[in-house]
Amino acid sequence: MKISESDLIINPDGSIYHLNLLPGDIADTVITVGDPDRVGEVSKYFDKIEFKKGKREFITHTGYLGKKRITVLSTGIGTDNIDIVFNELDALVNVDFETHEIKKELTSLNIIRVGTSGAVQPDIPMGTILASSYGLGMDALMNYYLQQLSGDEQILMDDIKAHFGHLKNINPYLTAASETLLNTIGKDMAKGITITAPGFYAPQGRIVRAKNAVPDFIGLINSFKSNQQRITNLEMETAGIYALAKVLGHNAISVNAILASRVNFEFSKEPNKIVAQAIKMVLERI
């Protein structure tokens, strides 16, 4: 199948449209971070940096940790950016840019998000490093893609729809983490369902000046239970990462540095220290 030039845009220098990367620029192991400034906070631990590239909020460093080639890439905030990043990462390894055709042999990337998050359960303290067992999307991204749920995902999704079904105009979606990455990168970490919101304020239950349409959103979230599963935290990318990774045949895990307790109305006094701890844990386990 040949992909049209308007569906997959290649820059004049042969790089992919937004990320400004060439095929071969990315490693099979990709660490994503939201903040462009955090890319250097990861790559400073590399033994060798092969190159640095950037366009808009998308900053990429590829290098080596020992003999392991790793790419670290900033996505910016939100699943709209995840849509761009994941489709373009996939194209870089699975589409022939000369012919615009999908390659016969597909590459599966290992993608690790290292990001920040707020806990919604009182027993999860600030400073916790938490691996998302599932990503639960409250945004609209997966309304535009076909997604096949596993048996376990479908059972959990049925309970989620029953719990949140009274919310108007919200069509949640759910995807599990890569089991392999959850058992390696995420081993010994706290785990739970991570909600991905389409915004930072009212969509995450924050109240500033505008009136919220969903009263006690945090209470609604932290009261959900399905067998041993519960919702543990809120952020803005994980569900999109998990869902698109699965659709495209990649492995993904989200590692969350818990900076806030939403039930105790607290925010960490040392956020950079917690994020650095999460980065080091991931690099040690790759």
Q: pLDDT tier at 25 (50, 70, 90 boundaries)?
A: very high
Estimate to the nearest angstrom the gap between the alpha carbon of 264 and the chain centroid: 25
With tokens 């609209």, the residue in question is 140
**Mean pLDDT across the chain:** 96
Q: pLDDT tier at 168 (50, 70, 90 boundaries)?
A: confident
Are 82 and 240 a contacting pair, CB within 8 Å? yes
Q: What is the mean pLDDT of residues 18-29?
A: 97
Euclidean distance between the first and the last CA atom of the chain, given in angstroms as a whole number: 35
Are 100 and 8 a contacting pair, CB within 8 Å? yes
Predicted confidence (pLDDT) per residue in 126-139, tens digit: 999 999 999 999 99
Walk me through the domains of the chain, giving residue ranges and CATH numbers. Answer: 29-284 (3.40.50.1580)
pTM of the model: 0.96
Q: pLDDT tier at 231 (50, 70, 90 boundaries)?
A: very high
CA–CA separation, 129 and 256 (whole Å): 6
Predicted confidence (pLDDT) per residue in 64-93, tens digit: 999 999 999 999 999 999 999 999 999 999
User: Which amino acid is located at 53 in the chain?
Assistant: K
Q: What is the mean pLDDT of residues 200-212?
A: 95
Predicted local distance difference test score (pLDDT) of residue 42 = 98
Check pLDDT > 90 for residue 18. yes
Predicted confidence (pLDDT) per residue in 95-150, tens digit: 999 999 999 999 999 999 999 999 999 999 999 999 999 999 999 999 999 999 99
Predicted local distance difference test score (pLDDT) of residue 242 = 98
Predicted local distance difference test score (pLDDT) of residue 157 = 96
